[in-house]
């Protein structure tokens, strides 16, 4: 059964347009309850700072209570904090109201199971099967109860601090923290302050409409400028729901997820604590693969999307993985991507080695990468289209061992993404443009 509403990270869309309406959220809660807790149980609901969070919080609360579930309201909290509290509060499921790095006028709803893990496709399909029915309302004696959990931020703060050594001190570091006016705006500065860092907060004044607006991991220019202006040691950028991390070194240079993954993998390798392979994605920079290879560390590539990275880590017995965008997974610390906890792991390496972030990243050379999007008349299956496979083969022979070629179809629109990376910037650009031109001609004549 194809999923109509669930995408790679829950349900997401423009507020007020189907499916992001109050009526749909009510039915969604009812459907989720019937699939995941048919005999009643407990659910936790958290959100980011979007003004529409109040709307969906109320609708979901009504749907779960009517279906017989006790409902615990956490308020604004990072997505990984909600995953943690789903387990800590022994809930049957956790619900996150967030559209992550999207603008404020979008919102989304996603679920965690009782173990703090994202739901598999099969359960999301079952939930969709109930969405065609009206929301249920049980008899009064079977209704759930609802209450707010006032200690949620403090509980998650303690959990985040427990991910690093109790004697870790950041007293010598001046850190700019950008929370994207999002879900981590309270807890992230508190955690860094508790470790002794001198902090300069930006993006920590949400008004319901400024989440991700010119700040955070998707817009790091302000952070890069601020780090230089206040002469900070480094900067931290989270996204709207706090599950992604990018950093900035003392010179204002952006450090992406691949580079941060190198820092963590290298430190764990030297400490003898690295377990299994490191897992990236098809888009992970070739420079990370080469740098890890020099250390004798294997890099495995999953499909694009943190859920696929997580699946491969579990399958391969690894603990460390992530995406270039900064969605990092440290499975020995938590069950899902957590920007704050990932930042703490990097900061621990900085403090323990006495090296700057720039020095820690230096051994990994980022290879030049060119990405070209090609809109096609209809969706194209790259693997089954011989002419496109032939064009890709020509490009691969042209760049040989000096680089890498990837062509993949978008999962949401009729677009082919052409990516070429290699040692020489000029060669990479030339190969990418030539391949893109060939694919445009082929898709125009064959489709």
Residue 374 CA to residue 138 CA, distance in Å, equals 51
DSSP 380: -
Residue whose tokens read 């409902």? 71
Q: Maximum CA pair distance of the chain?
A: 71
* Residue 193 is among the residues annotated as catalytic for this protein: no
Residue 373, SS3?
Answer: strand
DSSP 124: H
Q: Are strands 41-47 and 69-76 parallel, antiparallel or unpaired?
A: parallel
Cβ neighbours, 10 Å, residue 214: 12
Q: How far are the Cα atoms of 74, 173, 237 from residue 253, in angstroms, in the given order? A: 36, 17, 12
Select from 177, 326, 218, 172 the least CA-distant residue to 264: 326
| CB burial string 86-120: b at 16+ within 10 A, e below | bbbbebbbbbbbbbbbbebebbbbbbbbbebbbbe
The token duo for 213 is: 């607006």
Residue 133 CA to residue 157 CA, distance in Å, equals 40
CB 4 within 8 A of CB 38: no
Cβ neighbours, 10 Å, residue 134: 8
Please return the burial class of 40, using the count of CB atoms within 10 Å of its CB with bins 0-12, 13-18 and 19+.
middle
Residue 236 CA to residue 409 CA, distance in Å, equals 32
The distance of Cα 304 from the centroid of its chain, to the nearest Å, equals 11
Options 52, 100, 163, 438, the catalytic residue:
100
Q: Cis peptide leading into 19, omega within 30 of 0?
A: yes
Angle 311-130-116 from CA coordinates, rounded to 5°: 35
CB 224 within 8 A of CB 214: no
Residue 411 CA to residue 400 CA, distance in Å, equals 28
Residues belonging to the active site: 100
């Amino acid at each position: 059964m194809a999923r109509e509403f669930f995408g790679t990270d829950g349900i997401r869309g423009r507020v007020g347009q189907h499916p992001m309406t109050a009526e749909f959220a009510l039915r969604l809660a009812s459907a989720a309850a019937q699939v995941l807790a048919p005999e009643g149980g407990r659910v936790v609901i958290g959100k980011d700072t979007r003004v529409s969070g109040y709307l969906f919080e109320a609708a979901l609360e009504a749907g779960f209570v009517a279906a017989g579930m006790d409902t615990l309201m956490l308020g604004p909290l990072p997505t990984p904090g909600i995953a943690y509290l789903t387990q800590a509060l022994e809930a049957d499921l956790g619900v996150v109201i967030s559209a992550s790095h999207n603008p404020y006028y979008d919102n989304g709803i996603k679920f965690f199971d009782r173990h703090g893990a994202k739901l598999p496709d099969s359960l999301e399909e079952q939930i969709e099967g109930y969405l065609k029915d009206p929301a249920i309302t049980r008899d009064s004696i079977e209704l759930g109860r609802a209450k707010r959990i006032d200690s949620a931020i403090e509980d998650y703060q303690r959990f985040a601090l427990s991910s690093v050594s109790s004697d870790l001190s950041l007293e010598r570091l001046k850190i700019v923290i950008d929370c994207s006016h999002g879900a981590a705006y309270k807890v992230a500065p508190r955690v860094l302050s508790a470790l002794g860092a001198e902090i300069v907060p930006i993006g920590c004044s949400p008004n319901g409409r400024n989440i991700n607006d010119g700040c955070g991991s998707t817009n790091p220019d302000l952070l890069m400028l601020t780090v230089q202006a206040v002469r900070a040691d480094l900067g931290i950028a989270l996204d709207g729901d706090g599950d992604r991390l990018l950093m900035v070194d003392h010179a204002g240079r952006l450090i992406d997820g691949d580079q941060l993954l190198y820092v963590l993998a290298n430190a764990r390798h030297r400490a003898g604590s690295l377990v299994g392979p490191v897992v990236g994605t098809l888009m992970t920079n070739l420079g990370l693969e080469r740098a890890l290879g020099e250390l004798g560390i294997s890099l495995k590539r999953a499909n694009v999307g943190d859920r696929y990275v997580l699946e491969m880590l579990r399958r391969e017995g690894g603990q460390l993985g992530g995406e270039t965008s900064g969605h990092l997974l440290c499975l020995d610390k938590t069950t899902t991507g957590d920007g704050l906890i990932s930042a703490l792991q990097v900061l621990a390496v900085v403090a323990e080695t006495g090296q700057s972030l720039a020095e820690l990243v230096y051994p990994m050379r980022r290879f030049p990468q060119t990405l070209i999007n090609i809109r096609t008349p209809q969706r194209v299956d790259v693997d089954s289209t011989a002419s496109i496979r032939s064009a890709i083969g020509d490009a691969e022979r042209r760049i040989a061992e000096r680089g890498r070629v990837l062509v993949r179809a978008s999962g949401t629109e009729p677009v082919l993404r052409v990516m070429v990376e290699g040692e020489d910037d000029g060669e990479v650009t030339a190969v990418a443009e030539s391949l893109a031109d060939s694919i445009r001609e082929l898709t125009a004549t064959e489709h």
